[in-house]
Structure 1
Amino acid sequence: MRILIRTSKWAIWARRFGSLALPLTIIPVLLHREQLITSADFTVVEAVAAGVAALAVFLALGAFGRLWITGDQGWSKAGWGLFFGIVCLLPFAYLGYEAMRYPMVDEVTTDSADPLPLVSPVRVAPTGSPLRDEIAAIFPNAQTRSYPVDATEMFAIVDGLVEARGWDVRTRRAPPTALDIGQINAIAVTLFGWRDEVAIRVAGTALGSVIDMRSVPLGGFHDFGENGKRIEEFLVALDQKITLTLRDAPQAAAAPDTEAPPLPEGDDAE
């Protein structure tokens, strides 16, 4: 007599939902980064993907319980469903963790008294004093910088760092002289495709130059700390670049003159 061993339907549906959640999670990110879908549509699709992934995990866990009791087939299907579901839920867990770590902000700036102008048509609500203090405590390196480097040279260094990060520059206004002001406005894209505008100001002074930054989210209900981290990372990189520049400058100035001295004039020059 042949004994029929069934395949658990829970396991089958766990793998099906897990297989559906994977492209439903990844493809919208690619479309969002390329601006083929709006941020609002991206949020809706990803919410659906999270629900499908959670359902896959639930079905997989239920399948494991039923398989243990009934002895049916489907362990591998349930395993794949659980794996796909967990993989798809990891980005949401990361974003949830970042949302708890960082406050919800409309901007991060090093100069709240004179915010840098933006080129994007976005309205930014003024940041209250308590929130500014919280931002300063969380991002201690997001502060105005002063360097003993003239504004024209400093602007070239800043421009190079912006280009190295692949930001989409919208305006670039170099300072005409060492005592003038220059500014760069660029669009930075986050890992998940949200866009932020970054403004960098280089102001020349008698002692060198002063650098201020402003980073503003252009969409989404939470920036997950991206703007503050971006300013800190950029300014720390700028600190390191200027340190190397100032360290190498005296060596270049102190390099020995390799040209031969001129011969004295007169009959004795032979």
Structure 2
Amino acid sequence: MNKPWLRWLLWLQCVLLLVMVAGMLANKLEVVEFRLAFMTFVRALQAVMLVTAIGFIGLLFVWWKKYRASIKPALYTVLLGGLPVVFVFALVGQGLKVPAIHNISTDLDNPPEFRYAYQNRQEGLNSLDAPADEVRQKQRAYYGDTVKSLVLDLSPDAAFDLALNAARGLNFTITDVDKAAGRIEAIEETLFFGFKDDLVVRVAASDQGSVIDVRSVSRVGMSDLGANAKRINKLLQAIVEDMQ
């Protein structure tokens, strides 16, 4: 026996998934304001979760009643909804393992300072100021052994060139280069949703030759889900690999 409401449920699921994608693209392409795009995505995701749950109940029902004609639409509803839900929850689950901070620096005593990024800072975005004491304490407790300054046996000029080439190699959007001040500013945009985070690199002389410090700040959100620390280490690792 065919249950048409399960086909309607499948169509609704497809529409909701398109709304989710539209929310992501709207933010990535900067068509609408971030909060509207994000809430569109969140509400659509919540609806997808509800439809997936109803689809799963429907799947159990038609399987139990042996309504073979309705098994496929119910199954597709569950599969189509389950994939993005699992992906989002896996991402959030990873983020819950890290402290809820979004301003990460290799040097917490004297964090690298932004210059250019302040000029294009929109209202309502996270501050580019040095991290607060509470944030520094959380970073030291969690990232103390993993997010560190990079000391090189190179002149500051040579280290600066390495850092700039590494940032370009990682496809960061370079927004400002000041070799005299030893400062590089850049933006990295996430593949999904197009979140933009700001990055500043500072290259200075040291007793060993030079020291490279990096600070990465998320524009939105209380927690970066660990993205800023990963970005910093990715850049520093690229610099080390370019030396070899």
TM-score range, shorter chain: 0.7 to 0.9
- 1:21, distance to aligned residue in structure 2 (A): 2.6
Paired residue for 1:218?
219
Aligned mates of 1:106, 1:71 — CA distance in 2? 52
Q: 1:136 to 1:66 in 2, by over 3 A?
A: closer
- 1:169, distance to aligned residue in structure 2 (A): 1.5
RMSD: 1.9
Q: How many residues are matched?
A: 231
Structure 1 unmatched runs, 5+: 176-180, 245-270
Aligned mates of 1:70, 1:92 — CA distance in 2? 33
Q: Is residue 112 of structure 1 aligned with residue 118 of structure 2?
A: no
Q: 1:157 to 1:169 in 2, by over 3 A?
A: same
- 1:19, distance to aligned residue in structure 2 (A): 0.8
- 1:237, distance to aligned residue in structure 2 (A): 2.0
Aligned mates of 1:32, 1:225 — CA distance in 2? 21
Q: Is residue 235 of structure 1 aligned with residue 236 of structure 2?
A: yes
Matches within 5 A, 1:186-265: 186-192=186-192, 193-205=194-206, 207-242=208-243, 244=244
Paired residue for 2:184?
184
Q: Is residue 55 of structure 1 aligned with residue 50 of structure 2?
A: yes
Paired residue for 1:171?
176
Question: Does 43-52 or 121-130 show the bigger shift?
Answer: 121-130
Q: Is residue 93 of structure 1 aligned with residue 89 of structure 2?
A: yes
Runs of 4+, deviation exceeding 3 Å: 69-72
Cα deviation code 1:231-254 (max 9, x no counterpart) = 111112222222x1xxxxxxxxxx
Conserved 8 A contact 1:21-1:84: no
Aligned mates of 1:161, 1:21 — CA distance in 2? 40
Q: 1:222 to 1:205 in 2, by over 3 A?
A: closer
SS class of match (1:101): coil
Aligned mates of 1:94, 1:86 — CA distance in 2? 12
Q: 1:222 to 1:42 in 2, by over 3 A?
A: farther
Tell me the TM-score normalised to structure 1 length: 0.78
Paired residue for 1:126?
132
Cα deviation code 1:175-203 (max 9, x no counterpart) = 3xxxxx41001111123311111000011
Cα deviation code 1:90-126 (max 9, x no counterpart) = 3321222122111111311011111211223352451
- 1:170, distance to aligned residue in structure 2 (A): 1.6
Q: Is residue 35 of structure 1 aligned with residue 30 of structure 2?
A: yes
The structure, 1 or 2, with the larger RCO (C-alpha pairs under 8 Å, 6+ apart) is 2
Aligned mates of 1:141, 1:238 — CA distance in 2? 16
Structure 2 unmatched runs, 5+: none
Aligned mates of 2:139, 2:216 — CA distance in 1? 14
Q: 1:127 to 1:153 in 2, by over 3 A?
A: same
Tell me the TM-score normalised to structure 2 length: 0.86
SS class of match (1:74): helix
Aligned mates of 1:132, 1:99 — CA distance in 2? 14
Sequence identity (%): 19
SS class of match (2:107): coil
Aligned mates of 1:134, 1:42 — CA distance in 2? 34
Cα deviation code 1:72-103 (max 9, x no counterpart) = 33111111111111122133212221221111
1:68 to 59, 63, 74: 63
Aligned mates of 1:109, 1:218 — CA distance in 2? 15
Conserved 8 A contact 2:103-2:217: yes
Q: 1:59 to 1:48 in 2, by over 3 A?
A: same
SS class of match (2:162): helix
